[in-house]
Amino acid sequence: MAALHALREVMDLREVMQVLQLNGRRQRCTFCQRLDPMTYYSNVEFLARFRLSKESFDTLLTEIRHLLPSSRDRRGLRISPSLQLLVALRYLATGNFQLTLADTADMSQPSVSRCLKTVVRPRHR
């Protein structure tokens, strides 16, 4: 009987050690994938949100893509030229606060500000 009691204590001790080890480990950060407005929204919804048709957006992006280098947000994730242009268009179409746009685009307000600076600033050729 004493051996059985000792075995239970050892098992309890092992469980406690496992819990302590798990709590001591750093949990892996996971981030949600940003949605792609080109595929997420219908043509009508896209036009209502960005004041530009999908076809016109593609044409505009093709013309200015070389001026929009990929950048990184505060999490180190890539902000594509397409998303930079969409954020700027949404800002110009609605005049919303940058923080509101940041929440909508799943990025920080400084990232939205950098997108606007990159897309809207005058270009000297």
Residue 112 lies in a domain: yes
Over residues 28-42, the pLDDT tens digits come to 555 556 778 888 899
Residue 111 lies in a domain: yes
Number of domains within the chain: 1
CA–CA distance, 84 with 78 (Å, rounded to integer): 10
> pTM of the predicted model, to two decimals?
0.65
Are the beta carbons of 62 and 56 closer than 8 angstroms?
no
Name the residue range of residue 100's domain: 37-120
Q: Rounded mean pLDDT of 3-27?
A: 61
Residue 26 lies in a domain: no
Residue 102 lies in a domain: yes
Residue 28 lies in a domain: no
CA–CA distance, 69 with 17 (Å, rounded to integer): 49
Residue 52 lies in a domain: yes
pLDDT at 3: 63
The answer to whether residue 66 scores a pLDDT higher than 60 is yes
Residue 106 lies in a domain: yes
Residue 47 lies in a domain: yes
Q: What percent of the chain has pLDDT over 90?
A: 21
